[in-house]
């Protein structure tokens, strides 16, 4: 039954919608945590340490964090695979270009695929930069996320990569939230306006919230 559901277009869209909402919940929490950087190094570093001790003593050190990471990896892979397969299925269904030259879909809709690729590449860079320190500039310091974040956004390319990715994220959420709501049956004639408004507000708040961190470093409010 699971294979039959997965092979269907509706099944893939459902997997894409649910995995997208899981990642959206994480992004909201992640943004709120990121904004703690405005309260100084001590509080931000303490918050990062707290993430590793959540659930103690029932959970061992970092166990809860690793469970969250595993869930996110599953969500990202499921989202990417279903998106790719739906895209290939759509291309096969429409092998030739549309006759009309004027695009009828929104800019966010037309850029969903490229936005997904940009975000996928960004996730890899972000992990190598602030989690493993592999591509980090200025000398990665284990256990000092505040200093590492300031280092990253003290470089022009760190700011450009991050801000471009966050703009792509905003467009992705704007269309993705609306699409997920329709897939899961939440849309209706009376709720459509509220859902569109929610999608726009979420996209705007998350974009501003995430971009506020590099802007804070660039303007020396965070230093």
Q: Is the pLDDT of residue 133 over 70?
A: yes
pLDDT of 69 over the 60 cut: yes
Q: What pLDDT was estimated at residue 146?
A: 96
- Give the whole-angstrom CA distance, residue 66 versus residue 8: 32
Overall average pLDDT of the 79-92 stretch: 86
Range in 40-49, 117-126, 129-138 with the lowest mean pLDDT: 129-138
Residue-level pLDDT at 115: 87
The pair of three-digit structure tokens given for residue 5, joined into one six-digit string = 């559901």
As a whole-number percent, the residues of the chain with pLDDT over 90 amount to 67
Q: How many angstroms separate the CA atoms of 167 and 69, rounded?
A: 24
Confidence grade of residue 79 (pLDDT, cut at 50, 70, 90): very high
Tell how far CA 91 is from the center of its chain: 25
pLDDT band at 102 (very low <50, low <70, confident <90, very high): low
Mean pLDDT on 164-188: 90
- The stretch 45-67 carries a mean pLDDT of 94
Buried b (16+ CB within 10 A) or exposed e, 43-69: ebbebbeeeeeeeeeeeeeeebeeeee
Mean local confidence (pLDDT), 193-217: 95
For residue 219, how many C-alpha atoms fall within 13 Å in the half-sphere facing its CB?
8
Tell me, what's the pLDDT at 171?
Answer: 92
> Is the model's pLDDT at 108 over the cut of 90?
no
Question: Is pLDDT above 80 for 21?
Answer: yes
Task: State the burial class of residue 133 (Cβ atoms within 10 Å of its Cβ: 0-12, 13-18, 19+).
Answer: middle
Q: What is the mean pLDDT of residues 39-53?
A: 95
Q: Per the structure block, which two tokens stand in for 73?
A: 């990896």
Q: Can you read off the two tokens belonging to residue 25? A: 């919940």
Residues of the chain with pLDDT > 70, as a percent, come to: 92
Q: Are 181 and 81 in contact (CB under 8 A)?
A: no
pLDDT of 189:
77
Q: What average pLDDT does this structure show over 117-121?
A: 93
Query: Which residue shows structure tokens 């994220």?
Result: 169
Task: Please state the φ and ψ torsions of residue 84, each to the nearest 5 degrees.
Answer: -65, -45
Confidence category of residue 118, pLDDT binned at 50, 70, 90: very high
CA distance linking residue 134 with residue 149, whole number of Å? 14
């Amino acid at each position: 039954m699971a294979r039959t559901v997965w092979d269907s277009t509706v099944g893939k869209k459902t997997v894409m919608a649910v995995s997208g909402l899981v990642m959206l919940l994480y992004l909201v929490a992640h943004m709120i945590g990121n904004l703690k950087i405005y309260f100084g190094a001590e509080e931000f570093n303490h918050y990062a340490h707290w993430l590793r001790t959540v659930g103690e003593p029932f959970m061992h050190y970092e166990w809860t964090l690793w469970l969250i990471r595993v869930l996110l990896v599953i969500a990202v892979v499921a989202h990417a695979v279903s998106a790719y397969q739906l895209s290939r299925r759509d291309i096969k269904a429409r092998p030739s270009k549309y006759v009309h030259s004027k695009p009828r879909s929104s800019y966010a809709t037309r850029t969903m695929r490229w936005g997904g690729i940009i975000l996928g590449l960004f996730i890899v860079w972000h992990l190598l930069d602030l989690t493993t320190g592999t591509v980090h500039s200025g000398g990665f310091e284990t256990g000092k996320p505040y200093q590492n974040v300031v280092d990253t956004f003290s470089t022009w390319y760190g700011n450009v990569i991050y801000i471009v990715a966050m703009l792509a994220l905003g467009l992705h959420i704007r269309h993705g939230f609306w699409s997920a709501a329709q897939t899961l049956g939440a849309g209706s004639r009376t709720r459509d306006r509220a859902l569109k408004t929610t999608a726009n507000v979420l996209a705007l708040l998350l974009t501003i919230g995430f971009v506020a961190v590099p802007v804070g470093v660039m303007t020396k409010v965070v230093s």
